[in-house]
Amino acid sequence: MQTLDLLIFVGGVIHLGILIASGLLPKVLDWRSELAKLSALSRHVIWVHGAYVTLTIIAFGLASLLLTGELTGGSPLARALCGFIAVFWGIRLVIQFGLFDARPYLTKPYLKLGYHGLTVCFAYFTGVYGWAAVA
């Protein structure tokens, strides 16, 4: 397996792994009481957006695991998809640093580790899929 193939495959594993953090988010942020303050439509929009993001991450992960060679093969479609994945996570990385202030919620060492681990994952995705898009 070539280096880029291995990095994309590992990216697939990481994509599916970060879904653990996604699953913990509603509890850590106490969405039950926080979202109860919103109208039903606003609550539903947040849940639907969350579901779409989750499905997108699953698709990125499965494509990376099952179609590794195709993603690193250099076709226009592969480059476009890898470029999209890199931009998706690059924007998320910017949001991580520029918009989110998670400090009030990082009350336990495992939450701090998880948050900073996610930051590393977002940087990894941006770099690896960006490389695959231009390689």
Each residue of 34-65: pLDDT tens digit?
999 999 999 999 999 999 999 999 999 999 99
| pLDDT(24) > 90 | no
Q: Which helix (H) or strand (E) holds 124?
A: helix 109-134
DSSP annotation of 103 reads G
Name the residue range of residue 107's domain. 3-134
Domain count, the chain: 1
Neighbours of 51 (CB within 10 A): 10
- 3-23 confidence digits (pLDDT tens): 999 999 999 999 999 999 888
Tokens, residue 49: 């957006």
